Structures are given as structure tokens and as C-alpha cells.
Chain A
Amino acid sequence: MSTATLDTPIPAHPCAALPAADAASGDGLAAVRSAIAAHLVPKVVDVDLKAEYPEGFLRALGQAGGFRGAVEPAYGGNGLGMKHVVQVMEEVARECLSSAFLVWCQTACARYIQLSGNDWLKKQFLPSIAAGELLAGTGLSNTVKSCDTIEDYRLSARRVEGGYVINGVLPWVSNLGPSHVFTTGCPVVGEDGKLVFVLVDCAQAGFKLVDCAHFVGLDGTRTLACHFKESFVPDSMVLAHPSESEAYVKRIKPAMIHAQMGMGLGLIDACCKLMHQSNRTLAHVNQYLDDQVETIEAALAGARAAVYEIADELSEGAGSERTLDILKLRLAGGELSLRAANAAMLHQGAKGYLVRNPAQRRLREAYFIAIVTPATKHLRREIARIEGGHACSGM
């Protein structure tokens, strides 16, 4: 993205109408399912084994309205809110967790902009992000872990006339490319630890993407290192200045974590299907395994109901009063994902160990849900701290 592009005015976007198929189905997901079938299902193995970035699918999903739940109707959203965001992620995760994670990246970035006080940014970026025309990531993992005193901040900013200058390196930020944008936050020198949150243009001066990390799963997610060297971010790209950041964090944190449950719900459902598939011919043997499909499905149904209920609440408000519930649900989601993927693998047996069999992929994907920020150990620590009386004021 060039500076000229940034300066090009974009008219206020009217409320995006649902695709015709969705108007008929009522859940806003028919067009999403069609996009998954046409553009993702044929690519799943390449995304997993060849680290192919599913850009075509993301564009198609955007056209199908898959990102619009994260955005208000005035900026191109569909008015369906967080539940729609979770449900789209769930549909995608049934086929491919890499792509579901990219949906989370895109919608999380959209929501961070939506919940900022910067109307120019909303008008300039939300319509194109909601439509999948502009792809977006979120580099808040280090910010979250630093706020929770797990690690040091990797970026620092200093105030200059008209903006901030940022220095440092973020090792792993996903859904990036030369024409993408992403959000991040870091402390500002002289502001007593207070943070500034910004939207970064990957093409801006003083910023460089470095492609070096390779992972055993989700390697097709364009997860890159971000180098800031005296990189200037103008005030127009600021999501929250230091004086606003504490309140901003309270607005963005609950949904940021909660939306990740869409990945877990979809993956667990897919694991249940693998168990059912195996049981058609091997139920007489599988019955001796510790985790049976009926048990996992019952736990999944309970988790799904809880996730949808909180998602609807988040659409109505910030939800910071539900932080503990959200953390516990997110922890349970990661643990049930591991349990379901392990059970699917054991049900499939040696077949599940084949390179193209989804069972072993699901196992690698499940570990991602358990280790992506906030990871299992992070969640357990935060839950213990909150239950021990620690104020829940940080990320």
C-alpha cells in the first residue's frame, strides 16, 4: 500500500446487503459455505504441506461476506456481530485451521479498528477489510504477554511531531504481505508505561517483513518477522494514544480472546467426524478407547452454546465483566481440541499417520489452538491471578 493510496478518500460505506443465498438461509452462512467448498476444500492439503497461503480463498470469503460480522453496518458490516464472526471461523476450521486462524487475524484487526476512536481510520480501512480486498493481521501477542508480565515489550515508541517513531522486532505476526496492514501496541518513552496502539502499513518507510520461520503446522499463514527501524506512524494511523489505551484494551480484549473459540469449535467438530468415520467399520475396537465420540460431541455442544451466548453479549457491549468466563472457556476450548484430536488419531489408527490423512493434521492444528496467545499456560496463570484477587486491568 502506498501513501497515495492512504490519502485516497473512500466514501462512507452503506450497510452491506447479505448475499442472496444468505438471505434465503437466514444464518448468513450459505455464501460462506459455498466459498469454502469452491475455494478452500481443494487447497487444504497444499496449505498444510506446501505452506501455500490461501489468498484466493480469503478474497472469496470476503466477497461472500465472511468478515462483515466484525464491522458495524456504517462501515460495510452486516450487523450480525461476534456470533457471525465465530460461526464463520467455525465453518472454516471444519476444513482447515490455518485458514480459520487467518479469518481470526482479519476480523480481529477489523474489530480493533472498529473499537478505536479514529473515525478516519474506520472510513479509510474498514470497508476494504470487511470485503476482503485489504488483508490484515494483528501483532498484539507480545503486547498481551507483556501486559500480563510474561515477557518484555519488543517494540518501543517515542512521540514526535505528528506521530510516533517505532523501533524493535516482532518475531511472528500472521496474515502479512507487502500490501497488508496490521495492528500492534507498545509502550511510549516517557509515558510511564502507557501504550500506543497503531495500524501499521507493511509498505511504510522504516518497516521490513522478514520471512524465515517455518512451523510444523499452520505454515501457510504468512507468519513473518516485523522489523521496525525508526519507522514513523502518523497520528492518523493511531488506534489509541497513551491516555486512551487502558480503556481501549478493555474494549478489545474480551472479543479478541473469545473469537478464537471459533477455531476450536470447528476443529473439534471435524475430529468427531473422523471418529464417526472410523466407527463405521471399527466401532467394535474403538469402544475400548478412553474418549468416545459421544462424549466429545456432548462437550462440544455445551461449549458451542456457551460461546454463542457470550458472543451475543459481546456484540452488545465490551464484555470486560465476562473476562474470567471468557478465559475459562478459551482454556477449555484448547484442552478439548487436544483431547478431540488425540481421540480422532487413535480412532483412525495407522491410517491417521499417513501424510495426507487429516487426523495427523488435526493433531498439529489442535496444538496450535493450545499454544497461540493466549496459550494454555498463560490462560491458567491469568485465571489463577484473577481468582487470587489480582486486578483484571491489563490485557
Chain B
Amino acid sequence: MTTTVQTTQWICKVCNWVYDEALGDPEHGLPAGTAFADIPDDWYCPECGVTKADFEPLEF
């Protein structure tokens, strides 16, 4: 059986900046409520500049 991770927060593996879907990234064109899956491929981490491919679900 596989499990699907349900998260609204994603962490950058390079710098640990957290993308919170509830907050979005309005300064860089992502309104609050933007799902991680809907972030365009040319968006980059505002803290270190890597792309969304370097993010993973934030789990505790």
C-alpha cells in the first residue's frame, strides 16, 4: 500500500526556506493560497535561488 503525503508546507533542501501554500510568495508572483503543484517551473527560492525541484514536503 502506498501513502500519499498531504502537506501545505514545502522546505528548500538547500537553504531550509519554507514555502507555505497559505502564505504563497506574493513578492515573487505567487498569491496566498497558491498550491505548490501550481508554482511555475521558472519560479525560484527567494532565499537561495534554486528551483522548485529542490523542495520537499515539510514533515515533522
Contacts and interface: CB of A to CB of B under 8 A. Distances in A.
Interface residues of B, number: 11
A105 B33 CA distance: 42
Interface string B28-60: 000000000000000011111111001000000
Contacts of A283: none
A43 interface: no
Nearest to A142: B14
A224 interface: yes
B23 interface: no
A227 interface: yes
B15 interface: yes
A150 B22 CA distance: 33
A212 B54 contact: no
Nearest to B53: A169
A45 interface: no
Interface in A181-223: 210, 212-213
A298 B46 CA distance: 44
A171 interface: yes
Contact of A210 (B14, B15, B44, B54): B44
Nearest to A225: B49
A213 B46 CA distance: 7
Contacts of A224: 49
A172 B50 CA distance: 10
A225 B15 contact: no
Contacts of A171: 14-15, 48-50
B51 A212 contact: no
A224 B48 CA distance: 8
A141 to B, nearest CB: 12
Contacts of A154: 50
Contacts of A212: 44-49
Looking at B15, B44, B46, the one whose CB has the most chain A CB atoms below 10 A away is B44
Contacts of B45: 212
A213 B47 contact: yes
A169 B53 CA distance: 10
Contacts of B14: 171
20 contacts: A154-B50, A169-B50, A169-B54, A171-B15, A171-B48, A171-B49, A172-B48, A210-B44, A210-B49, A212-B44, A212-B46, A212-B47, A212-B48, A213-B48, A213-B49, A225-B48, A225-B49, A225-B50, A227-B44, A227-B49
Interface of A: 154, 169, 171-172, 210, 212-213, 224-225, 227
Q: Sort A-B residue pairs by CB-CB distance and give the 6 closest, nearest first.
A: A225-B49, A210-B49, A171-B48, A169-B50, A212-B49, A171-B14
